[in-house]
Amino acid sequence: MPTIKTTEGPLWRKRTPLKQWLVWAGWLIGLCITVYAWQLISEKTIWMFVFDAPSQMADIGTRMAPPDWSYMSKLWRPVWDTLNIATIGTAIAMVMAVPIAFLAAHNTTPHKSVRAAMLFIIVASRSVNSLIWALLLVVIVGPGVLAGTIAIGIRSIGGCAKLIYESIEEIDQKQVEAIKATGGSGAQQMIYGIVPQILPTIAGVGVFRWDINVRGSTILGIVGAGGIGIQLSASINVLAWTQVSTILIVILGTVFVSEYISAKVRGAII
């Protein structure tokens, strides 16, 4: 710890002078980036609209209250669709992710080139948002729940496979060797040596991903890929604000319930 000698005795400081200067320089760079980025954004902003925002908020706020509860009866089906998109999408993703994870983990992969290819699939699936996948899939399979389900599935493969292959790489190799020592074949080593060790992870990842996907599937309707997003964007387009507030409350409820279920199930597994 640096201390500075003064006439009144040693004075304690958190950092040495050089370190302190480096910290200040870091702050300066950060400030420059902030100012530059802010300038770019503000150039493209029509400030008149921004200053108008409080009155807009008040206006839309008053129009949104009270929620149109009679509209609820038309929302059960979209909620069911939304949950199905999330659940079937997650199921598809998990079915695909487990083999991909085994091919991608360095201790179970058959070859380095296979590992590289699988890592590429994982990254590509993870980097593109499910809304973009849905946009493309609506063109291919047509608007509806199927496009949304496949989009959620494709987007989730990467996320699930990444977590699973990391846990495969962290397993206790001794258990696999023990199975090998009894004369177990490659498949038996995998089923009795590796799978029991990663099963809790697989289940945990599935539930965790399902929770994320419920949230994600509420918006897919904006590009026509099914779920409650269709009603949301339709109601916003016709400025039916009381219906919008009902839909938002329903989404809020769905997300809270899914988060609660996911937390409970994960607590039971792990």
Partner 1 sequence: MTEASSHYAETWKKPHFIKSSLLRYSIYFGTVTYFFLAIYTMEVNWTRVAEGIPRGADMISKFFPPDLSDSRGVILDGILESIWMAVISTIGGILLSVPIGLGAARNLAPTWIYLFCRGIIAVSRTFPAVILAIFSVKFFGFGPFAGFVALSIETIGFFAKLLAEDIENMSKSQAEAVKATGASWLQWINYAIQPQVLPRMIGLSMYRLDINFRESAVVGIVGAGGIGAHLLTSVQRYEYATTATVLFSIIAIVIMLEYTSGYLRKWVQ
Report the C-alpha gap between 58 and 121 in whole angstroms: 46
Q: Name which of 17 and 196 has its Cβ closer to partner 1.
A: 196
Instruction: Return d(Cα 4, Cα 32) in angstroms, integer.
Output: 31
Task: Select the span of 2-10, 68-76, 104-112, 244-252 touching partner 1 (CB under 8 A).
Answer: 244-252
Binding span for partner 1 by CB under 8 A among 92-100, 106-114, 137-145, 173-181? 137-145
Give whichever of 176 and 251 is closer to partner 1, judged by the CB atom. 251
What six digits make up the tokens of 211?
Answer: 């929770």
The residues near 32 (Cβ < 8 Å, ≥ 6 apart) are none
Stretch in the footprint of partner 1 (CB under 8 A) among 2-10, 95-103, 168-176, 215-223: 215-223
Q: How many residues bind partner 1 (CB under 8 A)?
A: 61
Is 140 among the residues that bind partner 1 (CB under 8 A)? yes
Cα Rg of the chain (Å, integer): 26
- If one asks whether residue 268 binds partner 1 (CB under 8 A), the answer comes out as no
Distance separating alpha carbons of residues 117 and 251, to the nearest angstrom = 38
Site for partner 1 in 246-265 (CB under 8 A): 248, 251-252, 255-256
Our CB check for partner 1 shows the closer of 65 and 140 to be: 140
- Site track for partner 1 across 22-61, x = CB under 8 A: --------x--xx-xxx-xxx-xxx--xx-xx--xx--x-
Stretch that binds partner 1, among 67-75, 81-89, 108-116, 163-171 (CB under 8 A): 81-89
Least distance to partner 1, CB of residue 197, Å: 13
Q: In the bound complex, what is the minimum distance in angstroms from residue 47's beta carbon to partner 1?
A: 9
Residue nearer to partner 1 on the CB measure, 99 or 196: 196
Residues lying near partner 1 in the complex (CB under 8 A) are found at 14, 30, 33-34, 36-38, 40-42, 44-46, 49-50, 52-53, 56-57, 60, 80-81, 84, 87-88, 91, 123-124, 126-129, 131-132, 135-136, 139-142, 144-146, 149, 192, 196, 199, 215-216, 218-219, 222-223, 232-233, 236, 248, 251-252, 255-256
